[in-house]
């Protein structure tokens, strides 16, 4: 049985919503930090992994050539929630689910000459009683953000960055303002000694085509799961880039340089 590592996040649903288990394929769900570990230890065969984790372990991992979870500009689900201004942040609670978003936050603060103390914590906005900021990602970030909104804006240009004294800094948007490049949050990767079976890759590509071609159906399922409006979920999902195209690879290369890791530019030919 070939084991696929999958994060159960709305933003990855278009990749596997129409992918069926069976015929030699099974899913194993986990948060990104778990999937990273499982892939390296060999308990999953092919997995979405954090881009930072991939860059750290590029001597052992190799990505598929045309899959990513990336975006250009705001991502809406990798957010620092804070009351103090960005320039006054000293104590920050971090999600324990993702390595990439944590390293991105650290880089962005360091780039502005800021030094903060970071503490891994599980929780939500209640952490703002003890910290200057709290970093949330994925479904938790989306539902937290939605919980702050009194109405769903008609235009993306009306999405607020401050609600009831809570500032929302979208880390991907801040990355874009600095680099004018996409930010790649995750890639599909295998271990270098375990090439991906072409038939599995074909099924992944077919599932992605169906997912993007039927985004309303995917958004409807995910909106119901998270109890948020379908219109909000549709906008959220159509914002992503799932094909690791040339601009995304440039973004991944820029992130590698920013965090002082090598960028191998080495992908499976499949």
Q: What is the pLDDT of residues 167-201, one digit of tens each?
A: 999 999 999 999 999 999 999 999 999 999 999 99
pTM attached to this predicted model: 0.94
Percent of the chain having pLDDT more than 90?
83
How open is the CA angle 55-58-61, to the nearest 5 degrees?
120
Give the pLDDT confidence score for residue 159 in this predicted structure.
Answer: 84
Mean pLDDT of the residues in the chain: 94
Q: Which of 166, 175, 115, 172 is nearest to 145 (CA)?
A: 166
Q: What is the C-alpha to C-alpha distance for residues 215 and 217, in angstroms, rounded to an integer? A: 5
Of 78, 40, 49, 48, which is closest to residue 174 (Cα–Cα)?
A: 78
226, 219 contact by CB (below 8 A): no
105-127 confidence digits (pLDDT tens)? 999 999 999 999 999 998 999 99
Sequence-ordered alpha helix ranges (H) in the chain: 13-16, 32-41, 51-56, 100-111, 138-148, 171-179, 198-213, 215-226, 230-238, 246-258
Phi, psi dihedrals of residue 215, rounded to the nearest 5°: -65, -30
Which residues, listed in sequence order, are joined to residue 50 by a DSSP beta bridge?
A: 186
């Amino acid at each position: 049985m070939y084991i696929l590592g999958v994060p159960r996040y709305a933003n990855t649903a278009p990749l596997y919503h129409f992918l069926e288990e069976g015929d030699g394929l099974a899913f194993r769900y986990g948060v990104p930090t778990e999937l990273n570990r499982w892939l390296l230890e060999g308990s999953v065969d092919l997995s979405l992994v954090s881009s930072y984790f991939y860059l750290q372990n590029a001597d052992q991992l190799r990505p598929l050539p045309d899959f990513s979870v990336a975006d250009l500009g705001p991502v809406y689900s990798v957010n620092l929630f804070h009351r103090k201004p960005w320039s006054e942040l000293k104590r920050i609670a971090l999600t324990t689910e993702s390595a990439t978003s944590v390293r991105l936050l650290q880089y962005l603060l360091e780039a502005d000459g800021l030094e903060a103390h970071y503490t891994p914590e599980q929780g939500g906005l209640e952490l703002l009683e003890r910290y200057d900021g709290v970093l949330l990602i994925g479904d938790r970030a989306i539902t937290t953000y939605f919980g702050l909104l009194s109405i769903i804006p008609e235009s993306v240009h009306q999405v607020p960055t401050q609600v009831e004294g809570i500032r929302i800094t979208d880390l991907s948007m801040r990355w874009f303002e600095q680099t004018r490049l996409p930010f790649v949050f995750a890639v599909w990767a295998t271990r270098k000694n375990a090439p991906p079976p072409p038939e599995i890759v074909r099924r992944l590509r077919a599932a992605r085509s169906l997912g993007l071609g039927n985004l309303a159906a995917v958004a409807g399922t995910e909106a119901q799961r998270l109890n948020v409006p379908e219109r909000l979920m549709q906008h959220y999902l159509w914002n992503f880039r799932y094909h690791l195209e040339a601009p995304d690879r440039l973004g991944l290369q820029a992130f590698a340089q920013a965090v002082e890791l090598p960028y191998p530019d080495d992908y499976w030919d499949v």
